[in-house]
């Protein structure tokens, strides 16, 4: 059986820089028509020059593929003139609470300070992408952050807010209740719970922020995605770290899913008997919500076994060494 997908998009992707980018970017560029590129570099993407340089670096590394990098800016209190200038070069601005995850130290410390910038973003129709976690107890962080989301949605009723990588049943309900709110869901959060991370022997390669939650949360995410939710889209949050930064004391957060994203999505949608919803989840919802038209590109998947390499240079992927039921037929694997 062959499955054709039109302009698949990864609406939340970490490409890093330098040799790591050279290692991982071509993998996503081969099987997606575009991706929303996260700005949490060692020096965050917070000026026009950094944005242009980063985009150019990505384009250079991905020059053999049809691949649109949808750039984001790291949220800071920005003045109007800057937002007017940067607007046409970005798909949105990504807000991180300070210190909540990898390279987010210069994120927001005081949520009372964000409103003037949000008012201008709302007016200029710049979407707000959010890493929504408080600094509370790890399993409560996403739920506690809903207070912040609620305030934003109430004070800025036409701002497009994207709740990134949601992991809880409460977040799904919040999306359900607010028409101006969209959400991304990762592959791994559709497959694992906290038990898979720490219920047996500890699995550092499944450790990420936000951490995977309870079975009822997993079920709520799957229910929403498999019913073809009109505001929930795929964002892998594929976040590569070198093996020595994962298999150590102080393991870095992030799951590297880029090489297996499309085959595993096909597998879980097939298992749920909802292959009919896959096109919407990996492209159509995002195109509609963000009002984007990605470059023409079709990906073909085929139900032929694919053995996942254990390492992509020094990065270990999700499902390393395992055999998947679906493989990418075209474009051919690089």
Contact mark string toward ligand DOR, 40..79, x via CB under 6 A: x---------------------------------------
- Residues facing 190 on adjacent strands: none
3-state helix, strand, coil in the chain (%, to 5): 40, 15, 45
C-alpha of 108 from chain center: 20
| 246 near ligand DOR, rule: CB under 6 A | no
Size of the site for ligand DOR (CB under 6 A): 10
Please, what is the minimum distance in Å from the beta carbon of residue 12 to ligand DOR?
9
In the region spanning residues 309 to 328, those forming contacts with ligand DOR, defined by CB under 6 A, are none
| 142 near Zn ion, rule: CB under 5 A | no
Contact mark string toward ligand DOR, 261..280, x via CB under 6 A: --------------------
| 102 near ligand DOR, rule: CB under 6 A | yes
Nearest-CA neighbor of 178 among 192, 191, 161? 161
Q: Which of 238, 327 has the CB closer to ligand DOR?
A: 238
The residue within the footprint of ligand DOR, chosen from 97, 235, 254, 294 (CB under 6 A), is: 254
What are the b/e assignments for 268-277, b being 16+ CB within 10 Å?
Answer: bbbeeebeeb
Distance CA 293, CA 283 (A): 10
Catalytic residue among 10, 46, 217, 237: 237
| 237 near Zn ion, rule: CB under 5 A | yes
- Residues facing 92 on adjacent strands: 72
| 10 near Zn ion, rule: CB under 5 A | no
Backbone angles phi, psi at 124, to 5 degrees: -85, 0
Q: Which of 75, 269 has the CB closer to ligand DOR?
A: 75
| 129 near ligand DOR, rule: CB under 6 A | no
| 68 near Zn ion, rule: CB under 5 A | no
DSSP state letter for 21: H
- Judged by DSSP in three states, 31 sits in helix
What residues have CB less than 8 Å from 84, skipping those under 6 apart?
124
The residue within the footprint of ligand DOR, chosen from 3, 13, 14, 167 (CB under 6 A), is: 14
Active site residue 237: yes
The residue within the footprint of ligand DOR, chosen from 23, 46, 131, 197 (CB under 6 A), is: 131
Place of tokens 């991706």: 35
CB atoms within 10 A of CB 110: 8
Please, what is the minimum distance in Å from the beta carbon of residue 38 to Zn ion?
5
Q: Which of 8, 254 has the CB closer to ligand DOR?
A: 254
The residue within the footprint of ligand DOR, chosen from 94, 209, 231, 297 (CB under 6 A), is: 209
In the region spanning residues 222 to 241, those forming contacts with ligand DOR, defined by CB under 6 A, are 239
Q: Which long-range contacts (CB under 8 A, 24 or more apart) does 188-194 make?
A: 188/212, 188/237, 188/255, 188/257, 188/318, 189/165, 189/218, 189/221, 190/218, 190/221, 190/222, 190/225, 190/268, 191/218, 191/264, 191/268, 192/218, 193/217, 193/218, 194/139
Distance CA 299, CA 33 (A): 9
The residue within the footprint of ligand DOR, chosen from 118, 208, 264, 308 (CB under 6 A), is: 208
Q: Which residues bind ligand DOR (CB under 6 A)?
A: 14, 40, 101-102, 131, 208-209, 239, 253-254
Residues forming contacts to Zn ion in the complex (CB under 5 A) are 237
Supply the residues annotated as catalytic: 237
């Amino acid at each position: 059986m062959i499955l054709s997908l039109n302009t698949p998009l990864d609406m939340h992707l970490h490409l890093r820089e330098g040799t790591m980018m050279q290692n991982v970017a071509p993998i996503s560029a081969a099987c997606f028509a575009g991706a929303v590129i996260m700005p949490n570099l060692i020096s965050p993407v917070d000026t026009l020059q950094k944005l242009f340089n980063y985009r150019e670096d990505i384009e250079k590394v991905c020059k053999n593929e049809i691949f649109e990098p949808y750039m984001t800016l790291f949220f800071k209190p920005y003045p109007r003139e800057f937002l007017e200038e940067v607007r046409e070069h970005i798909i949105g601005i990504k807000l991180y609470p300070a210190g909540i995850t990898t390279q987010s130290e210069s994120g927001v410390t005081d949520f009372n300070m964000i409103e003037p910038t949000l008012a201008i973003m709302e007016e200029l129709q710049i979407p707000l992408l959010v890493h929504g976690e408080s600094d509370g107890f790890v399993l409560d962080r996403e739920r506690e952050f809903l207070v912040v989301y609620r305030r934003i949605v109430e004070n800025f009723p036409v701002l497009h807010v994207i709740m990134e990588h949601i992991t809880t049943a409460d977040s799904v309900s919040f999306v359900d209740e607010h028409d101006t709110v969209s959400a991304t869901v990762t592959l791994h959060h559709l497959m694992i719970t906290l038990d898979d991370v720490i219920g047996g022997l500890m699995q550092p390669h499944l450790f990420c922020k936000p951490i995977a939650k309870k079975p009822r949360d997993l079920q709520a995410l799957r229910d929403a995605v498999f019913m073809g939710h009109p505001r929930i889209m795929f964002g892998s949050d594929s976040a590569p770290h070198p093996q020595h930064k994962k298999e150590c004391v102080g393991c870095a957060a992030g799951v590297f899913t880029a090489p297996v994203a499309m085959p595993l999505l096909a597998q879980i949608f097939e298992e749920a008997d909802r292959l009919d919803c896959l096109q919407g989840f990996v492209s159509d919802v995002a195109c509609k919500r963000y009002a984007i038209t990605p470059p023409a590109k079709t990906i073909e998947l085929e139900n032929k076994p694919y053995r996942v390499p254990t390492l992509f240079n020094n990065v270990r992927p999700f499902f390393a060494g395992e055999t998947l039921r679906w493989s990418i037929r075209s474009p051919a694997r690089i």
